A and B are shown apart, each in its own frame.
Chain A
Amino acid sequence: MLSLQAATVRFGKRTALDAVDLEVADHRIVCVLGPSGSGKSTLLRAVAGLQPMDGGRVLLAGQDQSGVPVHRRGLGLMFQDHQLFPHRDVGANVAFGLRMHGTGRAESERRVRELLDLVGLPGAERRAVAALSGGEQQRVALARALAPRPKLLMLDEPLGQLDRSLRERLVIELRTLFQELGTTVLAVTHDQGEAFALADRVVVMRDGRIAQEGSPLDVWQRPASAFVARFLGFDNVTPATVTGEAAATAWGKVPVPEGSPQGEVDLLVRPAGVLIGAEKDGLRCTVGVRTFRGNHVTVRLTPENAPVLEAECALRDTPDEGAVVGVRFDSAETVVLAEG
């Protein structure tokens, strides 16, 4: 459906998009993930035609889009803060795209009703936009973007401004809805939870380039670099020298899986791979702040002369704050990060 070839955008000296290649297949949901300033919003704007490109091409269904103005690209875009038209009611907002495409009144009314049903706001046509809650605005924005049946729906931080519980519920609703409709979706977000729940395929961006691309499971299990690992929220990353099935690190010797790359690399130890035992066993650490997360606890451990470690343990095995413990590592939960 969508194909970006060497897409490049520069703002003065800064390169926001650096020769990015990206494919979005029909009926797939692709989520671009990255910290702010990584170029992910620029990517959406370039595809929409809102941001002129300094190089490369955007193809939609095989058609080169250079020279095609925004309003002729037939895309849907949901803005970060929705950008509903304040001077129109809900129904007129949803019908806007249909009017622009010359849809007849009766057909337009039918479609608006259908979409408001779909997003769970039946009968909201005459309501004022200002009177809607954040979640309702989000639903109206979605209905408005879907109404003209766009070839590709793009979402810019779709759930960014909503509170956590609503976000978690909506992300499931969105994925179910897109799967039912068979919509092709390109979303960007800085929230990994959102991206992994929503997407068939995740693209991690850094400084205008793609840092890693793959299925959510792939990316989560095997981050390609220290950057991706840290961005996904893993803090136990350290330089290491791998020889055979062991790595020499600031935390001492850490076992690594069979067949890992050798030499000077970065090493990730997932918190679940940090095993807490008796003081005399392994690396001596002092127990710091403990964070309770449902059925497990995250513990910060301070070794002597080495970076802080994060460990995950079961509720009943949680050590007391201030206690001194010994730490060993599980090779199944360590990942050698091939790229610096």
Chain B
Amino acid sequence: MRLGLMAVPVAFFAVFFAYPVSAIVGRGLKTDGVWQFGRIGDVLSRPDILDVLWFTTWQALASTALTLLIALPGAYVFARFDFPGKQVLRAVVTVPFVLPTVVVGTAFLALLGRGGFLDELWGVRLDTTVWAILLAHVFFNYAVVVRTVGGLWSQLDPRQEEAARVLGAGRFTAWRRVTLPALGPAVAAAALMVFLFTFTSFGVVQILGGPSYSTLEVEVYRQTAQLLDLPTAAVLTMVQFVAVGAILALHAVTVRRRERALKLVDPAQTSRRPHGAGQWALLGGVLLTALLLILLPLGVLVERSFDGPEGYGLGYYEALQSAGGSGSTFLVPPLEAVGNSLQYAFVATLIALVVGGLAAAALTRRAGRLVRGFDALLMLPLGVSAVTVGFGFLITLDKPPLDLRTSWILVPLAQALVGVPFVVRTMLPVLRAVDDRLREAAAVLGASPLRAWREVDLPLVRRAVLVAAGFAFAVSLGEFGATVFIARPDNPTLPVAVARLLGRSGELNYGQAMALSTILMLVCAVSLLLLERIRTDRSGEF
């Protein structure tokens, strides 16, 4: 039964993930059918590659530390304080997480770059420094920490701390001895997710890093697409694969520790209005951070999209409707990318829901090591070089029986690959929370296993399915690394079109990139706000 459910996800990942990735690695490391493992050592001893490895690691560490530093107070405020507009603000800080990396990069370019907001005001430019990358990473991952840590924090029973206080612990000691140990695994899990996302960062670094800064993923892209040096790209892909595997293994361990029984209560009971100057100052600080860090870049992005040469107007948006424009290589009006993106994302969401839903159903029951291992394996597409996947699609899915090179389905397939982990992560905790004895009760009353699933599981996880669909839709919309390879020139997606516009010089192209990014942001934000309305308590995994 369970093996039957697993068949579809396993086949999907084998054909559309393992096969393309291993084909790329094989092509890079084989000459005339003979493995050349010596190349690994050769590549890894090159100083320029060592620089990339070093930069990738330390910027990820720095980004993670900075994100925790800035977001942990936010997690506390969201967990323990009641203030007007909290729900809206929670949705707003989550918007960046589902924003396409290309948009994030563009927004920070508009804020910190040449001719950007700060440049105009004070002549400050950060786009050639690492600070732009770090800030963009914090912007991107703020919600990961607030949701993962804050979600648990809001459900911790404050009476546990009160018990410690009564037993003679001071305010800080009580927090350190009681709350911190309970939060520890959640903080570790959030930190590992942030590290994973920043370690494999592509779009942000591609746009903000310039020629001087390059992560592994960016380097894979450069080696593959610009230098056509497949062996180097293959080695780097493997390095990233191993690193991501290690991070995911660590994450699985911390998540399992988090499943240890904690006394959880209704979040509504644990938050109260702040009192005292200290608490109001903390709340103010967190709100100001959210304003500066999250709303300002998005605001500047929108402002730039209207700020044409002849003053404010819809000029850039109108320009998006025509294919022409000076030196434009667009075969179609850029605005058509909106329709393409929506269609692709819709199909990708369907695929991700089917594949991820089946995997989640199969993984529901706590089971042996093998199944748990598969659990972690499903997360791999989040971290494995999307560029490699995209390029792998091109070289493997081009001959019968799987000749999809000219088919539009290639793009949604690649996008679904990153959507599946979100679907599984969202649905699995909810499915696991369904008491197995409810299913048994249904069975005793005469429901077959399939019927019991339909009558018990499905109604209880319906909301989680919708949330999963929202996440899958948003990440499909924003997928860039793989899509940039396989989207056909006459059918670009929104992120690809934005990147193409940014890649050319000229004010019109820049303005159009801002306008297109604004549209992409709006589409994402709307799907997220719809999703926030049906949010379940247990969807705080990301």
A70 lies within 8 A of B443 (CB) = yes
CB <8 Å contact, B441 and A83: yes
Q: How far is the CB of B464 from chain A (nearest CB, A)?
A: 13
Q: Which A residues are CB-close (under 8 A) to B441?
A: 77, 79, 83, 85
- Closest chain B residue to A75 by CB distance? B444
Report the bound CA distance from A205 to B144 in whole Å. Answer: 52
Instruction: List residues of A (71-99) whose CB comes within 8 Å of B's CBs.
Output: 71-77, 79, 81, 83, 85-87, 96-97
Note all chain B residues with C-beta closer than 8 A to A50. Answer: 440, 443-444
CB distance from A74 to the nearest CB of B (A): 8
Q: Is the CB of B446 within 8 A of A101?
A: yes
> Per a CB cutoff under 8 Å, which of A70, A71, A83 touches B438?
A83
Asked, given contacts A79-B437, A85-B438, whether A70 binds B456 with beta carbons under 8 Å apart, the answer is no
Flag whether A148 is at the interface (Cβ < 8 A).
Answer: yes
CB distance from B231 to the nearest CB of A (A): 51
User: Given the complex, which residues of B lie within 8 Å of A79, measured CB to CB?
Assistant: 437, 440-441
A97 near B445 with CB under 8 A, answer: yes
What is the bound-complex CA distance between A72 and B456, given in angstroms?
18
B25 to chain A, nearest CB (A): 42
Contact A144–B448 (Cβ < 8 Å) = no
Of all chain B residues, the one with the shortest Cβ separation from A51 is: B440
A100 within 8 A of B: yes
Known A-B contacts A69-B448, A101-B446, A144-B445; A87 and B440 likewise in contact (beta carbons under 8 Å): no
A96-B445, A100-B447, A148-B446 known; A70-B440 Cβ under 8 A: yes
Q: Return the contact of B448 from the options A48, A71, A75, A97 (Cβ within 8 A).
A: A71
Give the residues in chain B near A144, CB-CB below 8 Å: 445
Give CA–CA (A127, B530) in the complex, Å: 30
A86–B444 CB distance below 8 A: no
Contact size range, B: 10 to 19
Option from A48, A85, A87, A101 in Cβ contact (under 8 Å) with B444: A48
Q: Are B455 and A70 in contact (CB under 8 A)?
A: no
Residues of A with C-beta under 8 A to B447: 71, 96, 100
**Quick one: closest A residue to B445, CB to CB?**
A97
Q: Contact mask A297-331 → B, CB, 8 Å, 1/0?
A: 00000000000000000000000000000000000
Instruction: Looking at the assembled complex, report how far the CB atom of B266 sits from the nearest CB atom of chain A, in whole angstroms.
Output: 13
List B residues 417-475 near A (Cβ within 8 Å).
435, 437-438, 440-448, 451-452, 455-456, 459-460
In the complex, the answer to whether B460 meets A100 with C-beta atoms within 8 Å is no
A103 CB → nearest B CB, Å = 10
Cβ 8 A contact of B455, one of A74, A81, A96: A96
Report A267 CB to chain B, min CB distance, Å.
Answer: 43
Alpha-carbon distance between A80 and B435 when the two chains are bound, in angstroms: 13
Q: Which residue of A lies closest to B462 (CB)?
A: A87
Contact B443–A71 (Cβ < 8 Å): yes
Q: Which of A277-306 contact B (CB under 8 A)?
A: none
Q: How far is the CB of A169 from chain B (nearest CB, A)?
A: 25
Q: For chain B residues 343-387, which have a beta carbon within 8 Å of chain A?
A: none
B437 proximity list for chain A (CB < 8 A) = 79, 81, 83
Q: Which residues of A contact B446 (CB under 8 A)?
A: 71-72, 74, 97, 100-101, 148
Which listed residue, B443, B448, B455, B460, touches A86 by the CB 8 Å rule?
A: B460
Looking at B435, B438, B446, B456, the one whose CB has the most chain A CB atoms below 10 A away is B446
A-B contact pairs, 6 of them (CB 8 A): A71-B447, A79-B440, A87-B459, A96-B455, A97-B446, A101-B446
Partner-A contacts on B (CB < 8 A):
435, 437-438, 440-448, 451-452, 455-456, 459-460
Report which A residues bind B (CB closer than 8 A).
Answer: 48, 50, 69-77, 79, 81, 83, 85-87, 96-97, 100-101, 144-145, 148
Q: Given A71-B444, A83-B435, 6 other A-B contacts at CB below 8 A?
A: A77-B440, A96-B447, A97-B445, A100-B445, A100-B451, A101-B446
Q: Closest 9 interchain pairs by CB?
A: A100-B446, A97-B445, A70-B443, A77-B444, A83-B441, A87-B459, A83-B437, A71-B446, A71-B443
